[in-house]
Amino acid sequence: DHAWELQDPTVYEERHLKYISVLGKGNFGSVELCRYDPLGDNTGELVAVKKLQHHTVEHVRDFQRESRILRSLHSDFIVKYKGICYSAGRRSFQLIMEYLPNGSLREYLPKNQNVLGPCHLLLYASQICKGMLYLGSQRYVHRDLASRNVLVESREHVKIGDFGLTKILPQDKEYYVVREKGESPIFWHAPESLSDSIYSRESDVWSFGVLLYELFTYSQRSCSPPTEYLRMMGPHNAQQTVCSLVEFLRAGKRLCTPASCPTEVYKLMLSCWSSLPSERPSFKDLELQVEQLQESLTN
């Protein structure tokens, strides 16, 4: 079967995978830039390689699930799966993906603030909606939608780029209750996720609202969601941040509108932050409303 595997273009050989640099560190793994160079003449293609760091049995199982999910996704707005590389002898493997040279939206926005107007920001919002609409149609809940997990193909094209926390909805339920909390990014989470660990396509919509906020603040650290929430919540016991945040949200308080953000866009964010999941727009609604805003801003 070794010969068969060598014919399979989705099986990469570790000996041809040349390490270049670290692209980022995720929840339990890291993503590296490598060149897959079987000819050994540096003409091979650049790839993004996700690997587990200190892998426990659970982490390997979660990583296998993540790889299976990514392999099953086919959308222009989701990073492309290329294959896997079995590490020689070791229990784990590496996930090979297409490499997007412009990095994450979180780094790209502040660096390109002066050349990105509202029409570009709404184009990114529209593309993320399309990716999330597709993801939801496959019964996946992302659980970690944020500008750090959106990758930039070009100034006109972004893709959802990390599925480390993605879960598959069970057949009989439209929501998922997670047991392990992990270091979840609480300032992107919906109230029901914070208080009851309930995740759904509606909680992904809440996170999309926070991502809209990140887009229109150009992901500047000075007014990032964590910075702003902590400023508005005021001094509190560090162990009680989640409770203080739930209290803050339950009182109907929300992130303020970003500077020079169109009123219509802030209204869209607020609709994503409805307390009741059922009152939040769907990604289909959002795709249509973002496209209407794009037209109104260009005409």
Ligand X SMILES: COc1ccc(-c2cccc3nc(Nc4ccc(N5CCN(C)CC5)cc4)nn23)cc1
Instruction: State the minimum distance, in angstroms, from the CB of residue 111 to ligand X.
Output: 10
**Nearest residue by C-beta to ligand X?**
24
Q: What is the 3-state secondary structure (H, E, C) of the chain?
A: CHHHHHHCCCEECHHHEEEEEEEEECCCEEEEEEEECCCCCCCCEEEEEEEECCCCHHHHHHHHHHHHHHHHCCCCCECCEEEEEECCCCCCEEEEEECCCCCEHHHHHHHCHHHCCHHHHHHHHHHHHHHHHHHHHCCEECCCCCHHHEEEEECCEEEECCCCCCEECCCCCCEEECCCCCCCCHHHCCHHHHHHCEEEHHHHHHHHHHHHHHHHCCCCHHHCHHHHHHHHHCCCCHHHHHHHHHHHHHCCCCCCCCCCCCHHHHHHHHHHCCCCHHHCCCHHHHHHHHHHHHHHHHC
Q: Which residues contact 239 (CB under 8 A, 6 or more apart)?
A: none
Is residue 103 a contact residue for ligand X (CB under 6 A)?
Answer: yes
From 103-111, 218-226, 242-250, 251-259, span contacting ligand X (CB under 6 A): 103-111
Closest CA to 258 of 210, 197, 292, 189: 210
Site for ligand X in 71-100 (CB under 6 A): 79, 97, 99-100
285 flagged as catalytic: no
Is residue 12 a contact residue for ligand X (CB under 6 A)?
Answer: no
Candidates 41, 62, 144, 285; catalytic one = 144
Is residue 29 a contact residue for ligand X (CB under 6 A)?
Answer: no
Instruction: State the minimum distance, in angstroms, from the CB of residue 175 to ligand X.
Output: 25
Site for ligand X in 203-242 (CB under 6 A): none
Closer of 31 and 268 to ligand X (Cβ): 31
Per rule CB under 6 A, count of chain residues that contact ligand X = 16
- CA distances to 63, 100, 119, 161, 163 from 56, rounded to whole Å, are 10, 29, 44, 24, 19
Instruction: State the minimum distance, in angstroms, from the CB of residue 251 to ligand X.
Output: 33
Instruction: State the minimum distance, in angstroms, from the CB of residue 113 to ligand X.
Output: 16
Instruction: State the minimum distance, in angstroms, from the CB of residue 295 to ligand X.
Output: 31
Site for ligand X in 129-188 (CB under 6 A): 151, 161-162
Is residue 32 a contact residue for ligand X (CB under 6 A)?
Answer: no
From 24-32, 61-69, 133-141, 243-251, span contacting ligand X (CB under 6 A): 24-32
Instruction: State the minimum distance, in angstroms, from the CB of residue 13 to ligand X.
Output: 20
Give the contact letters, 41-60, x = binds to ligand X (CB under 6 A), - = no.
-------x------------
Closer of 72 and 275 to ligand X (Cβ): 72
Question: Among all residues, which ones are annotated catalytic?
Answer: 144
Binding site for ligand X (CB under 6 A): 23-24, 26, 31, 48, 79, 97, 99-101, 103-104, 107, 151, 161-162
